[in-house]
Chain A
C-alpha cells in the first residue's frame, strides 16, 4: 500500500504520527521504498504545513541514506550528475533534487544517486527550518519596523536626553553602564531548546535556567556579573566600538562597515547595534552616510561609543556568554534610545522579551546561533523557560505548533527556597574543562533524530522530559543531592543515548577520578550545553568545603595533560565560584566626570591617544585622560593600568624572537630541508607551481574505467582463498602499515591533535582511539592464525613522540609487534599567494552557505587576502606555535621513510618472511587483514593492489580513472576540471596491498641494500622526483586570549602515495571493496552514520581489544 508514510506524517493519532521511520518501512523492498519516495516527494511539495514538509524531507533523506542501501538488490554503482552537484553547492536544492530524480528515472535507483538525493533532502530540510526561524525573527513584533527604515531621516529613535546632559561643553558625556549575568542550564532537557524542536513540540521544550555571577577561582575575589557594557555620546560623528576581551576597537564612519561583521572582532557589537535599532537593519546597502543616522539619533557632529567586557570568561564555557553579551548590549542600546520605560535599573518583563527576540535577530545577523534559552541572563534568578503554543496573532500561527520565543517564569521562594540556592552554590562546582568545540553538528544530529522519531532516542527524550520534573521537585525540597542524581542520570541516560558524542574520554576520565577520590563526597555530574569537555558541573558534598574546588582543579589539569595530544584543548581548565543573580540585567547612569570604563579599555585605547598632540584631541577626551590619570593614583582597581600602558607603548623586546628560535630548533630536529624549501618558494612565486598548476593538462584524457579494469568483490570473496591468506599470515609474511602522521586538522577544524590517539568512539564500553582500534583488529587476526603480526604506525614530527609512547605500552603484546616509524621530512608552511587564494575561493566550487554566512565568509576571505598581501606572499609562516608552522610533506614519503629510518630492516630482522604490507590511512577504521582478501591479493601477485569503493556524492577528491589509457588513481588536486571527477565510478580508499620486494625493486633497491643509508636516500629521492608536487592550502588555527581562535589559510606542498599507480613499471590491481571496509572517518559529523549503518558494530566484531587501552 503506497502512502503509508504520508498517512503517518498527517496522522492525528500520536501513536501513528510518532512511529519511527525504520519501523514504518521495515517490510518494504527497493521497489516499495521507491513508491513511498515518489509519494512523499509529491506530498512535501503540496503540503502547506511546515513540519509535515520538513519531516517528509527528512524521511526522504533517511530512506535514501539508510534504508535503500541496506536492501538486497539495490544497485551499488551509479553516477552523480555533475550539474546536480553544482546546484547543491549553490544551495539550489530543488533544482538539484529535480536533476537527481530525472537521473534516477533514467538509470534506476542506485547507491550513488541515493547518496546525492539524501544530501539534497537533508540540506533542504535544514534550510527550510532555518528560513522559518528567520522569518519568525523578522516578523516578531517589535522587530519589524527596523527592516522598514531605509533612510537616515526615517530613523524614529532619539537618544534619551539624560545621555546628552553634561556639565559644560568640554565635559565628557554621562556613561550608561549595563551589567548582566550569564545563564546556566540546570536541566539540559536533551537539547529541547533548539528552535526547531521548541517550535514543533513546545510541550517538550522545558529548561531551568539560572542567571549566575562568576568568579574565576584564584583570580577574582567574589562572583560578579561577568558581562559589563558601557555606552556614551562622543564628540565625533562615528560609532566607536571596543571589545576589551578581544583587544579590538575601531572608529566606524560608514554604514557599510557597520554591516561588515567579519572585518574585525567587533561583529557581536555591530550585531547588537543593528539588532537594537540604533542602526536599523533596513539601512544596509542604503548608500547613505552613517553620520546622518547618528545626527538624527544624537545630534549633528556627535557619535556613540559602545564598550563591552566579559571579564575574560573563556570561549566554550557553555554559559551562553556571547548570547548574553549580545542581549546585554541590546538592552543597553534600547535603554539609551528610549525603548525601555526606565533608563536604569532592571528591565520589565515585556522589555526582556523584546531583548531576547532581538538577541535572536542579532545572532542571525551576525551569523552565529544560540538556543532560545540563551539570553536567560537578562532575567533574574532561576526561571522555567518553556515552549509556547502559537496562538492567534502570533506570526507562527498555522505554520508551526510553537512560537519562536518561549515563556519565562521566574521561580519564587517556594519553588526555589533560599536554602536550595545556598546549597546549590555550595554543592555545585562549575568548571571549564579547557576544550572548545564546535557543537553545530550535534545540534543537527539532535534535530534530525527528533524529526525521524528514531528509537531509542525518542524514548530517551521522554525520559529527559520526566527528569526535568525531578529536578524541579529536588529544588523545591532543597534536596540538591536529588538534583545531582537526576542530572547524572540525565547525562548517563538520555543525553548520551541521543548523542553519544556529547561525552568524550576526558569527561569520562574526570568523572571517574573524582568519583574515586571523593567517594561519597561525589554527588553527580551536570552536563552543560551541546558537548562536554568545556563548561560542565560536578556536584559534591558541600561539607567538603571550598578545598574540594582545588581538588577538582587538580583532577581536571591532570586529565587534561593526559589527553593533551589526543583531544583538542584550547586552554588549561578553570574552576569558577558562582552565585545566582537575583536581579538579571541592570543599568546605572554615571555622570561623565565620575565615570570610569574598564581598565582594559584604557589600556587598549589610550596608547594611540597618548601619541597624539593633546591640542588635537577633543576637549572631552583630554579631560577624560586627566581624570583617568588621577584615578590611577587613588583607585586600586586601576593600579595595573600604568604598567599595561607602558607595555603597550613600549613592548618588551625579544618575545617574537623566542618563538622563532623554538621553531628553528624543531625544524632542525625534524630534518627540514631548507634548500628544497627555498626551491619551492621560488617556484611558487614564479607561478611554476600552485593550485592551478596541480592539475593535469587539459589535453589529458581522463575517463572512467571499464568493468574489466577492476576486480569487483562486492558480491563477496571466495572463502576458499582465506586459507591462502591464513597460511601467509601464519608464516609471518604480512605486516600492517598505518599512516599516522596526521594532526586531524579536519577532524578538529585546524586545532590539531594526534589523530591516531584521538579517542573517537566507544567500543566495548569505553572510548577507543584509532590506534587502539587498528591494533585490536590486527590482534584478532593474529590470535586467529597464531602469529605475532607487525603493525607499523608511520609518524611525523607532530605525532611521533605520543604514538611511540602509546605503542610502548603495548610492547609486551604477544600478538602484535607495534612499531612507530618516524617521519624523515617536514615542511615549513608559507603565507599563501593571493593567486592561490583567489583560485581556491573563486575558481573552484564550494558549498555556498546561507545568505548571511556566505557574506561573512566572503568578507573573511577579503580580509585574509589582505593579510596574505601585508604579511608577504610566499614568505615563511612563523606567527604561530612551531607545530602549527610546520607541515607533513604527504604520505608518499611514509613507506619510503621505513626504508630510511631502519624500521623495515628491524622488521625483516625479526620476520625475514615478510613480503606483504597492508598500507592504509589511520582513519580507515573498517580495513583489516581479512585472510580471504589477502588470499585474493596473493593469488594475483601484483606489486600494488589498491582498494576502491563505488563513488558517492561525498567522495570528492579524485578517484580511479583511465588517464591517457592507463588505469591509475588520480588525486582530486590533479583533475583537469571539476566535472571530470563526476564521470568516475570509483573512489580511492587509501588502502594498498604492497608486494615489498616489487616496491623495493621500483626504488632500485634490494633487501640487503637497506643498510646502505646513502643508497637508500638516493633511491627515495630518485622516485620522489618522479612524483608530482602538489601545492595545497590548509586552514591553521591560531589561538589567543582566553580560548579565542582565528583560522588562517597557509600554503604547503605534498607528494601523494596514490601517484605510484601512475608509474608504468608498477603492476597494479584495483579491488572494489564494500564501503564499510573502505570508509575513511575524516569528520566527527560522520560518526553518526558510522554507528547508524552498522559500521561501528562491524568494526567492534573485527577487534580484540587489549586489556588496557591507550585512553586508560
Chain B
C-alpha cells in the first residue's frame, strides 16, 4: 500500500484559526500549527496535502503553511458538517488512493524520533489496511472521542483488529462493547486524530448519505475490509480545548532542543511568584 496523499481537515466549528496559531517547535523554530502538521505529513512520505477549509480561508492557510515540502491543495467546505462531509469533499483529490487523514486542530508529539504520522503510515503500509491511530484513554474522557474495541493482532505489539467503533460513548456502552483485553480496567482506545483510510471509507460515507460521520463509516468498514488500530508512541493535544495550546507548547518545549530554556522560564516564573507572594509582608505602622 502506497500512501502519498494526506487530507487535513480544518473547517470545523471553532477550528478555523487554530492551524494558523504559532508555536515553537521541537527544533526551536517558531512555526504555525499547520506547518508543523504538514512537516509531519511530509516526513511520513506524503507528497500531496489537501487542506479542507472554509471558503476564503485559503490565503491565510497558504501563508501559514509557508515553504513546506509538499504540494498543497485546498478543498472548500461551506459549513462545518463534520469529518465525514469534509472527507467526501476531498474525494476528487483522494481518487482511488489510500490517504492519511489528519485533524487540523490537534498537535501530535511523538515519543522518540519518529513522528506520529510516520509511525501510522508505516503500519498501514506494512499491513495493507486502513489504520486509525489510537491512544489508551481513561473512561472519564472517552465521551469526547470516537472509541474502538477490538483485540490485539498476534505478534504485532500495539496493533489491534477493530471489532467495534462508537462515537463519544458513555463508559456504560464502552464497558459493554469496547473492552480491549490487555488494557487496564477503565481505559479504552480512543481516536488520536490520525487515520490511514482507504477509498472504501469514502464509499461508505457516500452510501450512508448526508449527515454520516467518519465513525459511522468506519463502523461499516468492519467486516467489509480489514480495519486496524495502532497505539502510536506519542501524545496528542486538542488545541481547541481550554489550555490545549498551552499544554501542547509545554510538551513541545520540554521534548525539544530548547528544553533547558523552557525549564528556566518555568522555574523563573515560579521563583518570582514565590519571592513576591511568599515574602513576609511588613505590617503598616
Q: Are A339 and B141 in contact (CB under 8 A)?
A: no
Of the residues B141, B172, B186, contact of A142 by C-beta under 8 Å: B172
Q: Are B140 and A277 in contact (CB under 8 A)?
A: no
Q: Are B172 and A145 in contact (CB under 8 A)?
A: yes
The reply to whether the CB of A37 lies closer than 8 angstroms to some CB of chain B is: no
Chain A residues near B175 (CB-CB < 8 A)? 141-145
Q: Are A156 and B141 in contact (CB under 8 A)?
A: yes
Q: How far is the CA of A158 from the CA of B186 in the complex (A)?
A: 18
Chain A residues near B176 (CB-CB < 8 A)? 141-142, 350, 354
Q: How far is the CA of A350 from the CA of B139 in the complex (A)?
A: 20
Q: Are A156 and B143 in contact (CB under 8 A)?
A: yes
Of the residues B140, B172, B186, contact of A155 by C-beta under 8 Å: B140
Chain A residues near B174 (CB-CB < 8 A)? 145
Q: How far is the CA of A56 from the CA of B32 in the complex (A)?
A: 73
Q: Are A148 and B179 in contact (CB under 8 A)?
A: no
The reply to whether the CB of B171 lies closer than 8 angstroms to some CB of chain A is: yes
Within 8 A of B (CB), among A141-200: 141-145, 148-149, 153-158
Q: How far is the CA of A350 from the CA of B164 in the complex (A)?
A: 15
Chain A residues near B41 (CB-CB < 8 A)? none
Q: How far is the CA of A163 from the CA of B191 in the complex (A)?
A: 28
Q: CB-defined interface of B179-213 with A at 8 Å, one 1/0 digit per residue?
A: 10000011000000000000000000000000000
The reply to whether the CB of A912 lies closer than 8 angstroms to some CB of chain B is: no
Q: Are B140 and A149 in contact (CB under 8 A)?
A: yes
Q: How far is the CA of A155 from the CA of B170 in the complex (A)?
A: 11
The reply to whether the CB of A338 lies closer than 8 angstroms to some CB of chain B is: yes
Known: A145-B186, A148-B186. A156 touches B142 (CB 8 A): yes
A677 CB to nearest chain B CB (Å): 60
The reply to whether the CB of B243 lies closer than 8 angstroms to some CB of chain A is: no
Residue from B172, B174, B186 with most neighbouring chain A CB atoms (10 Å): B172
Q: How far is the CA of A148 from the CA of B173 in the complex (A)?
A: 16
Known: A141-B179, A144-B185, A148-B185. A334 touches B140 (CB 8 A): no
Q: How far is the CA of A357 from the CA of B164 in the complex (A)?
A: 23
Chain B residues near A141 (CB-CB < 8 A)? 175-176, 179
Within 8 A of B (CB), among A324-358: 334, 337-339, 350, 354
Q: How far is the CA of A252 from the CA of B143 in the complex (A)?
A: 27
Q: Are B143 and A158 in contact (CB under 8 A)?
A: yes
Q: How far is the CA of A153 from the CA of B141 in the complex (A)?
A: 10
Of the residues B140, B170, B186, contact of A338 by C-beta under 8 Å: B170
B116 CB to nearest chain A CB (Å): 26
Q: How far is the CA of A338 from the CA of B176 in the complex (A)?
A: 15
Q: How far is the CA of A156 from the CA of B173 in the complex (A)?
A: 12
What is the size, in residues, of chain B's interface with A at 8 Å between Cβ atoms?
Answer: 15
Q: How far is the CA of A495 from the CA of B93 in the complex (A)?
A: 74
Chain B residues near A149 (CB-CB < 8 A)? 140
Q: CB-defined interface of A119-150 with B at 8 Å, one 1/0 digit per residue?
A: 00000000000000000000001111100110
Known: A350-B176, A354-B176. A145 touches B143 (CB 8 A): no
Q: How far is the CA of A257 from the CA of B143 in the complex (A)?
A: 28
Known: A144-B185, A148-B186, A149-B140. A156 touches B171 (CB 8 A): yes
Q: Look across to chain B and name the residue whose beta carbon is closest to the beta carbon of A354.
A: B172
Within 8 A of A (CB), among B250-283: none
Q: How far is the CA of A280 from the CA of B22 in the complex (A)?
A: 41
Q: How far is the CA of A142 from the CA of B143 in the complex (A)?
A: 15
Q: How far is the CA of A157 from the CA of B176 in the complex (A)?
A: 16
Q: Look across to chain B and name the residue whose beta carbon is closest to the beta carbon of A148.
A: B186
B74 CB to nearest chain A CB (Å): 33
Q: Are A156 and B140 in contact (CB under 8 A)?
A: yes
Q: Are A339 and B170 in contact (CB under 8 A)?
A: yes
Q: How far is the CA of A1029 from the CA of B94 in the complex (A)?
A: 97
Q: Are B172 and A334 in contact (CB under 8 A)?
A: yes
Q: How far is the CA of A143 from the CA of B176 in the complex (A)?
A: 9
Known: A141-B176, A145-B139, A350-B176. A157 touches B185 (CB 8 A): no
Q: CB-defined interface of B30-41 with A at 8 Å, one 1/0 digit per residue?
A: 000000000000
Q: Are A157 and B139 in contact (CB under 8 A)?
A: no
Q: How far is the CA of A154 from the CA of B171 in the complex (A)?
A: 11
Q: How far is the CA of A148 from the CA of B186 in the complex (A)?
A: 8
Chain A residues near B143 (CB-CB < 8 A)? 156-158, 338
Q: Are A153 and B140 in contact (CB under 8 A)?
A: yes
Within 8 A of A (CB), among B156-172: 170-172
Within 8 A of A (CB), among B129-162: 139-143
Q: Are A156 and B139 in contact (CB under 8 A)?
A: yes
A1032 CB to nearest chain B CB (Å): 50
B263 CB to nearest chain A CB (Å): 28
Chain B residues near A153 (CB-CB < 8 A)? 140
Known: A142-B175, A144-B175. A156 touches B170 (CB 8 A): yes
A866 CB to nearest chain B CB (Å): 38
A297 CB to nearest chain B CB (Å): 12
Q: How far is the CA of A657 from the CA of B179 in the complex (A)?
A: 65
Q: How far is the CA of A704 from the CA of B126 in the complex (A)?
A: 88
B175 CB to nearest chain A CB (Å): 5
Chain A residues near B179 (CB-CB < 8 A)? 141
Chain A residues near B139 (CB-CB < 8 A)? 145, 148, 156
Chain B residues near A148 (CB-CB < 8 A)? 139, 185-186
B183 CB to nearest chain A CB (Å): 13
Q: How far is the CA of A337 from the CA of B173 in the complex (A)?
A: 12
B272 CB to nearest chain A CB (Å): 29
Q: How far is the CA of A631 from the CA of B172 in the complex (A)?
A: 40
A293 CB to nearest chain B CB (Å): 12
Chain B residues near A156 (CB-CB < 8 A)? 139-143, 170-171
Chain A residues near B171 (CB-CB < 8 A)? 145, 156-157, 277
Chain B residues near A334 (CB-CB < 8 A)? 172
Q: Look across to chain A and name the residue whose beta carbon is closest to the beta carbon of B179.
A: A141
Chain B residues near A143 (CB-CB < 8 A)? 175
B176 CB to nearest chain A CB (Å): 5
B245 CB to nearest chain A CB (Å): 21
Q: How far is the CA of A354 from the CA of B176 in the complex (A)?
A: 9
Q: How far is the CA of A155 from the CA of B140 in the complex (A)?
A: 6
Within 8 A of A (CB), among B104-130: none
B184 CB to nearest chain A CB (Å): 11
Chain A residues near B186 (CB-CB < 8 A)? 144-145, 148
Chain A to chain B contacts (Cβ below 8 Å), 9 pairs: A143-B175, A144-B186, A145-B175, A145-B186, A148-B185, A154-B140, A156-B171, A339-B173, A354-B172
B contact residues vs A (CB 8 Å cutoff): 139-143, 170-176, 179, 185-186
A contact residues vs B (CB 8 Å cutoff): 141-145, 148-149, 153-158, 277, 334, 337-339, 350, 354
> Which 7 pairs show the lowest CB-CB distances between chains A and B?
A145-B171, A156-B140, A154-B140, A142-B172, A141-B176, A339-B172, A339-B170
20 further interface pairs, Cβ-Cβ under 8 Å (given A142-B172, A145-B172, A155-B140): A141-B179, A142-B176, A144-B175, A144-B185, A144-B186, A145-B139, A145-B171, A145-B174, A145-B175, A148-B139, A149-B140, A156-B141, A156-B142, A156-B143, A157-B143, A157-B170, A157-B171, A334-B172, A337-B170, A339-B170
